[in-house]
Amino acid sequence: MKLLNTALIERAGENGYPFYRIPGIVATEKGTLLTCYEARHGGDWAVIDLYVRRSTDGGHTWEARQMVLSGQKKNTTNNPVMIVDGARVHLLCLENYKRLFHRVSEDDGLTWSEPEEITDALEARRAEYPWTCAAVGPGHGLRLPGGRLIAAVWLASNPGNITAHGPSKISTLYSDDHGKTWTLGEIFEPEGSVSPNETCVAALSDGRVILNIRSRKPDGAPYTAPHYRYIAISADGSGNWETWLEKQLPDPACCGGMCNFPGGLLFTNCDSYISRSNHTLRKSTDDGRTWSEALLYDPLAGYSDCIYNPATGTAFVAYEHERESELRVSEIEL
């Protein structure tokens, strides 16, 4: 693997916002790259607007950003997640970690349908798990060969502190009718995990669905204690998950990204036990049983997401440089 190019998407303190965070990226059927992200006035619960930028030349230049959900100077809009579905692109996002919205683009991200609220999909399981915060992704979602659309979800349940992001469990949101209706899958937590939350999703060679999961460090664990990602696999992405701790993938408890490429799986995260540092990309050609040595593409790290673009035959990683300094997109030769 080889780093080819890096483009600046946003820089903190410029263009009206102190911070830009939580990137996701997809490649459309035509090879257009779309990256989505949060434009923040502060932390997780600040006033936040959501934007998308597009590139039609393999990530070398990027068009002006467009807002896809406004915080209206009072709300937290959070966790934009895109899913490519043939010629359509779906966008899922939330307002104040409670209201879930869906938009669709039919023209490679140039324009988007009006936001449609689909919070009922989350409310349907509230009696089973009385969540107080919810979010999709971050990153991007998945379209299975049969047409099912899937996005990862995390749900926190903390009546004593309704803005807390834990304790939490994870699930998936799926649609079998091209986004007309959505269903929340089984709510679960891998055995041994601690408040699992931000999760990425891909497909295995036999059509099963794989989740790659962030877990918090146990309370009282030494700062330097080894810490890893969790894996979950399901036949259809809706439930009956087989889970395990994946000791090939170190992690400091941060959001990573995963995607399919013609040879298997790609995974990007902070390759460290102790800090958000060492942005790396790994690949697996055997359905995640083994992972390659990591390519270090930026030592100053934060959240990240990755996608393979068939139009260029390369991977693209959207990521936070030094967490809250810049948002960047890098092209990587596989």
Q: Tell the residue number behind the tokens 């393999």, with chain if given.
A: 58
Q: Which of 167, 170, 178 has the alpha carbon at shortest distance from 144?
A: 178
**By mean pLDDT, which of 102-106, 272-276, 307-311 is the weakest?**
272-276
pLDDT average, residue stretch 104-108: 98
Task: Give pLDDT tens digits for 163-182.
Answer: 999 999 999 999 999 999 99
- The backbone torsions φ and ψ at residue 119, rounded to the nearest 5 degrees and listed phi first, read -60, -25
- Counting residues of the chain whose pLDDT is more than 70, the rounded percentage is 100
pLDDT in tens, 180-189: 999 999 999 9
Whether 234 and 240 have beta carbons less than 8 Å apart is answered as yes
User: What end-to-end distance do the CA atoms of the chain give, in Å?
Assistant: 5
The predicted pLDDT at position 223 comes to 84
Give the pLDDT confidence score for residue 80 in this predicted structure: 98
Q: Are 22 and 140 in contact (CB under 8 A)?
A: no
| pLDDT for the residue 330 | 98
pLDDT score recorded for residue 293:
86
Q: How would residue 17 be classed by pLDDT, with cut points 50, 70 and 90?
A: very high
pTM exceeding the 0.85 threshold for the entire prediction = yes
Per the listing, tokens 């090939």 go with 248
Q: Which residues of 64-88 are buried (b: 16+ CB within 10 A; e: fewer)?
A: ebeebbebeeebbbbbbbbbbbeeb
Q: What distance in Å separates the CA atoms of residue 294 and residue 283, rounded to the nearest whole number?
A: 8
Cβ pair 29, 86 in contact under 8 A: yes
CA distance 306 to 59: 13
How confident is the model over 118-128, as pLDDT tens digits? 999 999 999 99
pLDDT tens digit sequence for 45-92 = 999 999 999 999 999 999 999 999 999 999 999 999 999 999 999 999
Secondary structure in 3-state letters for the chain: CEEEEEEEEEECCCCCCCEEEEEEEEECCCCCEEEEEEEECCCCCCCEEEEEEEECCCCCCCCCCEEEECCCCCCEEEEEEEEEECCEEEEEEEECCCEEEEEEECCCCCCCCCCEECCHHHHCCCCCCCCCEEEECCCECEECCCCCEEEEEEEECCCCCCCCCCCEEEEEEEECCCCCCCEECCCECCCCCCCCCCEEEEECCCCCEEEEECCCCCCCCCCCCCCEEEEEEECCCCCCCEEEEEEEEECCCCCCEEEEECCEEEEEEECCCCCCEEEEEEEECCCCCCCCCCEEEEEECCCEEEEEECCCCEEEEEEEECCCCEEEEEEEEC
Residue 323, pLDDT score: 80
